[in-house]
Amino acid sequence: MRLIDTLKHWAQRIKQDALTLWFCARHPETPRTAKVVALLLAAYAFSPIDLIPDFIPVLGFLDEMILLPVGIAFCLRLIPQSIIAECRQSADNWIEQKRGKPRSYVAAICIVLLWALLLWLIGRWLIRPKA
């Protein structure tokens, strides 16, 4: 298998796992802690805005290549296998129906607010009145 095919398969698996977490976050039998973590990860995965923008060299892809997969793997360990199997089937059905990926505009707004806060703090730090 060529490297590009391996990377495409890996990316597809991350998308499927993120969608599985989205269903797990809504499943009534998912433990509360796992539900919160799954919801946060799925919201971030489906947010149209990244926490670390892709145009930043190296760091831009850090969240998609390392942080998101590690977070998904961690969260899947918090959820019982029976729930994961059921939610994975729901995710597969969603993908087969070509419904596209869900969008999380709440996560996008939170990321924009976080960046705005960071820029405001940097501005305050740079434009301090001299004592």
User: How many CB atoms lie under 10 A from the CB of residue 79?
Assistant: 23
Q: Which tokens belong to 128? A: 């301090």
111: pLDDT strictly greater than 70: yes
36: CB partners within 8 A, 6+ apart: none
Residue range 28-83, pLDDT digits in tens: 999 999 998 998 888 878 776 676 777 777 777 777 778 888 899 999 999 999 99
Domain boundaries, the chain: 3-126
pLDDT at 103: 66
pLDDT at 81: 95
Residue range 10-28, pLDDT digits in tens: 778 888 898 899 899 989 9
